[in-house]
Structure 1
Amino acid sequence: MGKTIITQFSYQFAATNEAVARAVDGDTLTFKTQDCFSGRIVDQSDLTTSFNYDTANPATGPVFVETAQPGDILVVEILDIRVAARGVVTTLPGCGPLSDTQEIRTKPVQIIDGKALFNDLQIPIDPMVGVIGVAPAKGEVRCGFPGNHGGNMDCKQIKKGAVLYLPVQVEGALFALGDLHAVMGDGELCGTGLEICGEVDVRLTVLKGQSIQWPVLETPEKWYAIASAEQYPDALKLAAEQMQALICKAYGWDLTDAYLYMSLQSDTEICQACKPCLVDLIVRIGTPKRSDKPLISRSEA
């Protein structure tokens, strides 16, 4: 059989979205993505004087995953990310801590030999997936926003070699992804990374018998719990609760011992904090991996 390539996209995660493809457990698929502007911002003269979240951050998909049911975990292995040779970084109106003093500007950026050419600097690229998730249990969430379904998490650790665990909330999961960045700093301060189109190869499997409340990410070095909320303390608490629950189950500890351990070993990191803007603040809490105590076991996947 040939490789499944997904090209259709939508602007929201929703159970009512019609699946554009179907996958069985263990399938590998390629997602061709638009940039966050759907190709509308290309040159210096294309300015983001306004930003419409109804037509932002298109996610390629959704894909209906056979056997995925609410309460399961969808396991997404990021096998490869390939980006175009040119992207853009822009300031967005009213977005980011310095937005009140900055002009609206678009900078096209070329990529040559794996380096982004920004003014007189060469910045090594580190491609990542900004938008990735499943359909929420109720209603719809525009692709520019995060939630416990995933969505616009803008976590720069979601890159080649990482494994993302998503809580399935509707039959078939309805998985989609988009909003690639060739490179982005934690916080995405001005509201954009190096926005770019490209392709992502993923392997999808369904894990039963375990559950999570928020997306969980596995990298070669750490486990991360990712959560979002309007205010930092709320996002921090949600991510901490998810990490604590995982540690308690995997290590056999009570809540307080897990909390004490997290204070010794877990790092709090910011995925996106480009306030003031409409998008919730996104926090990740990372805990070092132990080969003998996986926080999520894939032996059943």
Structure 2
Amino acid sequence: MAVHELRIDPNRTLAEEPATGHNRWHPDIPPILRVQPGDEVVMETRDAFDGQMGPDATLKTVGSPDLDVVHPLTGPVYVDGAQPGDLLEIEILEVVPGTYGYTVQVPGFGFLRDVFPDPYIVRWHLSDGWAYSPGLPGVRIPAAPFMGTIGLSPGHQSLARTTAREQASMERGGFVLPPSADGAVPRDPAIATRALRTIPPREQAGNVDIKQLGAGSRLYIPVDTR
């Protein structure tokens, strides 16, 4: 078993360091790492809003973030031998948070957008297995870090099927972020104009936000493309 490392500069956005990742799903995005089954991969990651919600973020920022850059994902990683129809088993060995975190309510975004229409942010200090916030005095949250967005690319047929399905949902008034080249990484127009946004989870996982997906858990995702 080999151990691989994918490192980023946390002070730079994905657009400033595009060779480290992607923020769209598309089968033609080239992998940045090739591994064998059973290999271990250490990945550094950016936050979901790609640095927009840092310690100095204001309510103005929270009220009108750039959603085109969500989510900056590290990868892709190519697993040798994985074929369409296979089930890829991923074991989460460890999730190590940084020292800063945040909770935000972006107006018009998320499942509770009709209940919480105003922008709001809580900044968290993470240390010693706890999260503390000056905005919530007397409260501390025990650490339980987990994977938010993790998945595989759809194949070309699934890409077309999903695009049509989400376009139909948008035409019925559903909340959908359609394909857009604005802010896309990679920037290649052949990919950026057709690639799926990362906001919803789909058949190949993605933005799953499962709190149980922490250290020691296993995730099984169907393989749809080589």
CA shift for structure 1 position 44: 4.5
For residue 37 of structure 1, the aligned residue among 43, 46, 49 is: 49
Aligned to 2:93: 79
Greater than 3 Å deviation, 4+ residue runs:
98-102
TM-score (norm 2): 0.70
Aligned to 2:31: 19
Mapped partners of 2:126, 2:117: distance in 1: 25
Please list, as runs of the form range in 1=range in 2, the aligned pairs for 1:246-261 lying within 5 A after superposition. Answer: none
Please list, as runs of the form range in 1=range in 2, the aligned pairs for 1:181-200 lying within 5 A after superposition. Answer: none
Aligned to 1:190: none
Mapped partners of 1:101, 1:2: distance in 2: 47
Gaps of at least 5 residues in structure 2 are 8-19, 160-194
Residue correspondences, number: 171
Aligned to 1:61: 75
CA shift for structure 1 position 55: 0.8
Q: Secondary structure of the equivalent of 1:129?
A: coil
Counterpart of 1:6, as a letter, is L
For residue 117 of structure 1, the aligned residue among 123, 128, 132 is: 132
Q: Please tell me whether residue 129 in structure 1 is matched to residue 147 in structure 2.
A: yes
Q: Deviations over 1:175-220 (max 9, x none)?
A: xxxxxxxxxxxxxxxxxxxxxxxxxxxxxxxxxxxxxxxxxxxxxx
Check whether the contact 1:23–1:66 (CA below 8 A) recurs between aligned residues: yes
Q: Deviations over 1:213-258 (max 9, x none)?
A: xxxxxxxxxxxxxxxxxxxxxxxxxxxxxxxxxxxxxxxxxxxxxx
Mapped partners of 2:112, 2:104: distance in 1: 15
Counterpart of 1:127, as a letter, is P
Counterpart of 2:147, as a letter, is V
CA shift for structure 1 position 100: 4.7
Q: Please tell me whether residue 93 in structure 1 is matched to residue 107 in structure 2.
A: yes
- Whose strand fraction is larger, Structure 1's or Structure 2's? 1
Q: Deviations over 1:138-181 (max 9, x none)?
A: 2332222210011111111111110001100111xxxxxxxxxx
CA shift for structure 1 position 112: 2.4
Q: Please tell me whether residue 148 in structure 1 is matched to residue 161 in structure 2.
A: no
Please list, as runs of the form range in 1=range in 2, the aligned pairs for 1:167-186 lying within 5 A after superposition. Answer: 167-171=222-226
Check whether the contact 2:107–2:113 (CA below 8 A) recurs between aligned residues: no
Mapped partners of 1:98, 1:54: distance in 2: 19
CA shift for structure 1 position 12: 1.1
Mapped partners of 2:115, 2:210: distance in 1: 25
Mapped partners of 1:157, 1:151: distance in 2: 15
Counterpart of 1:122, as a letter, is R
Check whether the contact 1:133–1:150 (CA below 8 A) recurs between aligned residues: yes
For residue 221 of structure 2, the aligned residue among 166, 171, 194 is: 166
Flag the 1:107–1:16 CA change in 2: closer, same or farther, 3 A: same
CA shift for structure 1 position 52: 4.0
Mapped partners of 2:21, 2:142: distance in 1: 29
Flag the 1:87–1:101 CA change in 2: closer, same or farther, 3 A: closer
CA shift for structure 1 position 10: 0.5
Flag the 1:53–1:145 CA change in 2: closer, same or farther, 3 A: farther
Mapped partners of 1:99, 1:112: distance in 2: 34
CA RMSD across the alignment = 1.9
Mapped partners of 2:146, 2:39: distance in 1: 21
Flag the 1:101–1:159 CA change in 2: closer, same or farther, 3 A: closer
Q: Secondary structure of the equivalent of 2:150?
A: strand
